[in-house]
């Protein structure tokens, strides 16, 4: 089944192909083929037969991107998408609204398995993984319902002043009345129901463990900061052209609660978006590292100090390294009562060698989505750590870095995967690495 676009014979956007959908791929789509060409198809499920509408690609492209716009033979895992703004050409935030919760986790497990094998040469058993993606108990809802988990939502504002979410791989805005995965504290602000004149973007934040709420407003070039009248008390920050945050009203930070401590997170700085993630990850890291009172530890990409603070209660000394100046200020504030913690500011690959540290007992790293990379892995592998905890939000970057660690004599002793991002393709992993014993 094929129709031809009329405008550009080289461009294939707009073509329709009837295809058999193959396995899931990393990124929220599945693989299909037509006339020997690979299609990455969103809004499909493995085993389905669909009509795929090409959204990107030309005759010379190595692969095409497409949306399933008609389902001819449906998977038993398919459900009606609960969100009215989900679907081909609409909001790009959720990848698996059309799949049952159990199917979503199986798809994520298949992606992790494929990335481990392809990039690290590891089977799940060799990675110490049972092959499951663990849901948070509060997110186990019946098919057709959506857990409201996201405590930070970034809205884009269209030319008419309506707040919405970007469409997939597009700058176009899908105006929304309500984001179903937004946490109740976000939904109560009523961002979507208001006009935002002269505004380019609005980020809404609701804290866990406190009543703090915050909005960060990015005005359009030359625009004025709009008067904000939201449905709940809220602090307001303005984001300038360089990305700097300036307090307009209320506190410049929110107070989060995790690991039996309160954490200051300023100016929209990084914090896990699922309310259960910080405590769950701290527990997984500490359980995997098994710290001892006399140990020394290093926390890389330490943010506002979550893992450093948890480790400091169990070891002799902790060094944290973080590139964000604001996050370093927050970390030093948050851990000011712990005299066995030191926080350094700068890029890990530059600061760590300058510390002069030649060995340590334990390491935890929680790098950005791109991963740590060969240079950092090489340096860490030379510190003779007893165990390394790698917290990863991207299975491809994790698998690649595990291959670098393997080259330097470290192997995964265990791996856990957590579904802190229901309805999306994202998944969080914690790998515990140990040095390979000689002779093995």
Please check if 301 is assigned to a binding site.
yes
What is the model's pLDDT at position 225? 81
Task: Tell which of 55, 76, 97 closes a domain.
Answer: 76
Residue 232 three-state SS: coil
* One domain for residues 287 and 375: yes
Please list, in sequence order, all residues whose beta carbon lies within 8 angstroms of the beta carbon of residue 375, skipping any fewer than 6 positions away.
349
What is the model's pLDDT at position 4? 43
Please check if 145 is assigned to a binding site.
no
Measure the CA angle with vertex 150, ends 365 and 197; round to 5°.
115
* One domain for residues 289 and 414: yes
Q: Number of C-alpha atoms within 13 angstroms, CB side, residue 140?
A: 6
* One domain for residues 379 and 284: yes
What is the model's pLDDT at position 243? 87
Name the phi and psi angles at 384, rounded to 5: 60, 35
Please check if 272 is assigned to a binding site.
yes
What is the model's pLDDT at position 437? 78
* One domain for residues 361 and 427: yes
Would 401 be classed as within a structural domain? Answer: yes
* One domain for residues 295 and 218: no
Would 179 be classed as within a structural domain? Answer: yes
Task: Tell which of 226, 255, 284 closes a domain.
Answer: 255
Distance CA 237, CA 346 (A): 25
What is the model's pLDDT at position 241? 86
* One domain for residues 38 and 118: no
Task: Tell which of 255, 286, 304 closes a domain.
Answer: 255
What is the model's pLDDT at position 391? 98
Q: Number of C-alpha atoms within 13 angstroms, CB side, residue 161?
A: 9
Would 127 be classed as within a structural domain? Answer: yes
What is the model's pLDDT at position 435? 98
- Number of structural domains, the chain? 3
Would 49 be classed as within a structural domain? Answer: yes
Distance CA 188, CA 114 (A): 40
Q: Report strand pairing: 213-219 vs 235-239.
A: parallel
* One domain for residues 294 and 398: yes
CA distance to 181, 233, 295, per residue, from 212 (Å): 19, 8, 36
β partners of residue 93 = none
pTM, rounded to two decimals: 0.95
Would 46 be classed as within a structural domain? Answer: yes
* One domain for residues 413 and 286: yes
Would 420 be classed as within a structural domain? Answer: yes
Question: Are 281 and 391 contacting, i.e. CB atoms less than 8 angstroms apart?
Answer: yes
* One domain for residues 430 and 341: yes
Q: Report strand pairing: 341-345 vs 317-322.
A: parallel
What's the pLDDT tens digit per position in 31-82?
999 999 999 999 999 999 999 999 999 999 999 999 999 999 999 999 999 9
DSSP 69-100: EEEEE--TTB---S-TT-STTSB-S-S-TTB-
CA distance to 270, 355, 406, per residue, from 351 (Å): 20, 6, 24
Please check if 410 is assigned to a binding site.
no
What is the model's pLDDT at position 3? 44
* One domain for residues 116 and 56: no
Would 81 be classed as within a structural domain? Answer: no
What is the model's pLDDT at position 86? 96
What is the model's pLDDT at position 142? 85
Domain around 57: 16-76
* One domain for residues 348 and 430: yes
Distance CA 228, CA 276 (A): 30
The parts of the chain modelled with pLDDT lower than 50 are: 1-8, 439-440
- CATH, residue 119: 3.40.50.150
* One domain for residues 416 and 303: yes
- CATH, residue 42: 2.40.50.140
What is the model's pLDDT at position 438? 57
Active-site residue list: 393
Would 125 be classed as within a structural domain? Answer: yes
Distance CA 398, CA 371 (A): 7
What is the model's pLDDT at position 2? 44
């Amino acid at each position: 089944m094929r129709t031809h676009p009329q405008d550009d014979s080289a461009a294939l956007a707009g073509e329709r192909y009837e295809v058999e959908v193959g396995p899931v791929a990393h990124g929220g789509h599945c693989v299909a083929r037509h006339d020997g060409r690979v299609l990455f198809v969103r809004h499909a499920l493995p085993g389905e037969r669909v009509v795929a509408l090409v959204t990107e690609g030309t005759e010379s492209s190595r692969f095409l991107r497409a949306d399933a716009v008609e389902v001819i033979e449906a998977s038993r895992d398919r459900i009606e998408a609960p969100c009215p703004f989900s679907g081909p050409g609409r909001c790009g935030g959720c990848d698996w609204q059309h799949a049952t919760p159990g199917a979503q986790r199986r798809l994520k497990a298949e992606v992790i398995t494929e990335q481990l094998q392809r990039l690290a040469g590891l089977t799940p058993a060799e990675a110490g993984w049972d092959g499951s993606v663990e849901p948070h108990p509060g997110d186990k809802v019946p098919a057709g319902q959506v857990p409201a988990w996201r405590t930070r939502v970034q809205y884009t504002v269209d030319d008419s002043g309506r707040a919405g979410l970007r469409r997939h791989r597009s700058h176009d805005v899908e105006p929304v009345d309500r984001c179903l995965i937004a946490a109740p504290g976000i939904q109560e602000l009523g961002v979507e129901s208001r006009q935002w004149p002269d505004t380019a973007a609005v980020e809404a934040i609701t804290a866990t463990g406190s009543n703090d709420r915050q909005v960060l407003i990015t005005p359009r070039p030359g625009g004025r900061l709009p008067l904000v009248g939201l449905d709940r008390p809220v602090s307001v920050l303005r984001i300038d052209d360089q990305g700097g945050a300036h307090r307009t009203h209320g506190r410049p930070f929110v107070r989060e609660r995790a690991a039996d401590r309160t954490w200051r997170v300023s100016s929209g700085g990084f914090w896990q978006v699922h309310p259960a993630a910080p405590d769950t990850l701290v527990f997984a890291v500490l359980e995997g590292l098994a710290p001892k009172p006399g140990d020394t530890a290093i926390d890389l990409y330490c943010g506002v100090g979550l893992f450093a603070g948890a480790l400091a209660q169990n070891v002799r000394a902790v060094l944290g390294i973080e590139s964000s100046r604001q996050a370093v200020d927050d970390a030093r504030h948050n851990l000011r009562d712990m005299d066995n913690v030191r926080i350094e500011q700068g890029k890990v690959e530059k600061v760590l060698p300058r510390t002069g540290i030649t060995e340590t007992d334990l390491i935890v790293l929680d790098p950005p989505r791109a991963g740590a990379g060969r240079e950092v892995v090489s340096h860490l592998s030379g510190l003779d750590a007893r165990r390394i905890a790698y917290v990863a939000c991207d299975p491809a970057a994790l698998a690649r870095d595990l291959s670098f660690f393997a080259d330097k004599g470290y192997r995964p002793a265990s791996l856990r995967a957590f579904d802190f991002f229901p309805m999306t393709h994202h998944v969080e992993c914690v790998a515990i690495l140990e040095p390979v014993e000689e002779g093995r």
